[in-house]
Amino acid sequence: MNENLFASFIAPTILGLPAAVLIILFPPLLIPTSKYLINNRLITTQQWLIKLTSKQMMAMHNTKGRTWSLMLVSLIIFIATTNLLGLLPHSFTPTTQLSMNLAMAIPLWAGAVIMGFRSKIKNALAHFLPQGTPTPLIPMLVIIETISLLIQPVALAVRLTANITAGHLLMHLIGSATLAMSTINLPSTLIIFTILILLTILEIAVALIQAYVFTLLVSLYLHDNT
């Protein structure tokens, strides 16, 4: 098979214009809203899940950290819906693009760090030099801690990109193998197709877990700086 494995990760275009912005704006349209006093079961379940996630992430924060609750809840909903939509056939997943994930991670990380330097500058600077460090190791440890701080948003973005991309590639390979085996050996095709179904279920879980992990790490960075 000469099909390009990475063709599905290329940003789509419409009449030569990039369609990534439209795709990014599409998931919020799928979030149901209600104008009635009494909500239906779908809205009630959605509000319960949002409240449960928000309560779990905000439990460790102080008053200043809880001002980020709306942003963090919006972030986890956006990433989760984007990841799930990317599992549909012939669809595009924006979270497989490292540039987009960096565009989400860097501003959130920078906002948390700047808040820490503004409100708790002594504690923020203390992270660069652990207590009891021998004098000859001070310059090296300051450099190491600075690098570890600056690499946090990169690690956030790369983790999300790698996990989503790896799952999509594996599904693509197994799906191609299923089509190739369908004309050769039917029992083997059924076995591979069963594996594909199980992998799809796993990828749905990964899509939700990665959204939670990304948001939780941003929440932890915020907690360290408030």
Count the Cβ atoms, other than its own, within 10 Å of residue 31.
13
Hey, where are the domains in the chain?
7-225
Burial class (CB in 10 A: 0-12, 13-18, 19+), 63: exposed
pLDDT on residue 14 = 67
What is the rounded average pLDDT of the residues 143-172? 86
Percent of the chain scored above 70 by pLDDT?
88
Band (pLDDT 50/70/90 cuts) for residue 1 is very low
| Angstrom distance (rounded) from CA 136 to CA 32 | 59
Q: What is the pTM of this model?
A: 0.78
- Residue 200's contacts (CB-CB under 8 Å, 6 or more residues apart) are 87, 171
What is the rounded average pLDDT of the residues 191-203? 88
| Angstrom distance (rounded) from CA 50 to CA 193 | 34
pLDDT tens profile 175-184:
888 888 877 8
